[in-house]
Amino acid sequence: MSAHSLQWGGRFQSAPDPALLAFGSSLGEDLLLARFDVRSSQAHVRALFGGGTIAAATYEALVSALDRVAAEIEDGSFRAFASTGAFEDIHGAIDARVREIDDDAGGWLHAGRSRNDQVATTLALYAAERARMGAARAASIARALAGRARSALGQGSVLAGTTHGQPAQPVLLAFWLQGAAEPFLRSARRFAALAREAMDVMPLGSAALAGSCLPLDRVAAARYLGFARPSRNALDAVGTRDALFACADAWATCCVPAARISAEIVAWASPLVGYVRIGDASASGSSLMPQKRNPDIFELVRAGTQRALADARAAWAASAAIPLSYHRDLQECKQSAIAAIERADSLLSAFERALADIEFDLENMERHATAGYTLATDLADALVRGGVDARRAHRLVGERVAAAEERGRPFDASDLHALAAHLGTTTLDAPLDARASVLAKATEGSTSPSAVALALDMLERELSGEALP
């Protein structure tokens, strides 16, 4: 390769070191950006023509060449072309292919444009599309969880809700499922807002950092790409990756509830707990132990989320030390952000498929719903309703827990009688089973069937709103 074959080789006398050129190349990571870069180039051609920089014949030739490259990207043949050349990035590969198709017209493609504004525009388009994809993925997971919650509500299924991994209070399975859906609705909203933000201002036409001397029709380019308006400061536009990094953050953040649910499912899938059974389609076995049914997918989601979070944070962190304008450090930031997005997409896709493959053992859940004295808070609340202050009620019920635990028995009527004596009565109105416990809840947002039904109505209404896909 000669220096002159590169987009910037005019002032160099000798070719770059191939090893160092390869070191600086981002082509491998850039290939998924190819169709966004072609769109950016199509917009730039319209800006050139609209500003009178290129003639109609050149405009038509460039549009035709770029259409051909776009088709080659879709059918996979462009990847082979790009992979056989010594290109620094996807932008150089597409520029070279256009010049190969039509050398006369291709020489005009980069007029008034820098790779700085080109890559910023390409990444904004990529971020907008991935944000729309994220909104659809998050909403889909939320709908799946809400659907299962609706079914579980009809069945009245209960289990022991936990804090610190210990039995805490009985809750409806529908309550757990609806609670699991809520973070994905929040992520869907976040993605939808990011998609709009990414398409707010268009960097294209900012050139290297100061704008161009050529009369580019930036409004026409913005209209073609779907941006709300051209950027108003070239220096900021070429060096800002806010939308991309925020998109990476949103994808990684969306994985967090998936990881937390996965952690719970991993625990529940153990025969020692037996709350869920992993289906054959998403379980794996052991090469040594014939009896194993391993929740590998959920374990991988749990671990992979940490990598996605690390990549997203790395993108922001690396950019914090960079002055205004474009610097090559942004290439590393870009790779971290894209890695976070693509990894998170893979994780959430696997999570959604595996989640659909689990079955809840409702009888086993209900059988253990009062284990560990999960009704203790109900008894303490009953004392408070009768006029006992909260601290004393807590102590009195704690003493009954200790007494029952010593005898190896659950709460029974004798505990209610003993506690009622402190109120000067013979009976205490408090539940002694899990279903009565959830029915007794009185606050909005609680695990009572009426509160869960209302919450599900609101959740499903938001998920069917126009703002979400």
pLDDT of res. 28: 62
Residue 356 has pLDDT above 70, yes or no: yes
Task: Using alpha carbons, select from 149, 77, 91 the residue that is nearest to residue 119.
Answer: 91
What residues contact residue 272 under an 8 Å CB cut-off, 6+ apart? none
Q: Which CATH superfamily is domain 128-200+239-367 in?
A: Fumarase/aspartase (Central domain) (1.20.200.10)
Q: Are 31 and 82 in contact (CB under 8 A)?
A: yes
Residue type for 145, please? Answer: L
20 band by pLDDT with thresholds 50, 70 and 90: low
End-to-end CA distance of the chain: 48
Residue 408: count other Cβ atoms within 10 Å of its Cβ: 6
Structure tokens at 326: 């474009």
Query: Considering the entire predicted model, what is its pTM?
Result: 0.92
* Of 215, 12, 41, 22, the residue nearest 119 (C-alpha): 41
Q: Give me the pLDDT at residue 30, please.
A: 82
Average the pLDDT over 238-260 and give the result: 97
Q: Say which CATH architecture domain 3-7+17-111 belongs to.
A: Orthogonal Bundle (1.10)
pLDDT at 4: 47
CA 276 to chain centre: 25
Answer yes or no: is pLDDT of 134 > 70.
yes
What's the mean pLDDT in 23-48?
Answer: 86
pLDDT at 29: 72
CA distance 264 to 275: 10
In this prediction, what percent of the chain has a pLDDT beyond 90? Answer: 88
What are the DSSP E strand ranges found in 70-195? Answer: 158-163, 166-172
pLDDT given at position 19: 66
pLDDT at 10 over 80: no
Least confident of 25-39, 173-187, 279-293, 429-443: 25-39
CB 36 within 8 A of CB 125: yes
Average pLDDT (417-445) is 95
Q: Mind listing the pLDDT tens digit for each residue in 363-378?
A: 999 999 999 999 999 9
The string of pLDDT tens digits covering residues 287-329 is: 999 999 999 999 999 999 999 999 999 999 989 989 999 998 8
Give strand pairing partners of 359: 277
Residue 21: its pLDDT value, please? 54
Tell me the two tokens of residue 33: 């950006």
CA distance linking residue 356 with residue 278, whole number of Å = 10
**In 10 A of CB 84, how many CB atoms?**
9
Q: Which helix (H) or strand (E) holds 46?
A: helix 34-50
Domain positions in the chain: 3-7+17-111, 128-200+239-367, 376-430
Cβ of 71: how many Cβ atoms within 10 Å?
Answer: 12
194-223: per-residue pLDDT in tens? 999 999 999 999 999 999 999 999 999 999
Question: In angstroms, rounded to a whole number, what is the distance separating the alpha carbons of residues 152 and 156?
Answer: 6
CA-CA-CA-CA dihedral for 374, 375, 378, 383, to nearest 10: -120
| Helix (H) / strand (E) containing 338 | helix 329-355
Query: CB atoms < 10 A from the CB of 3, how many?
Result: 14
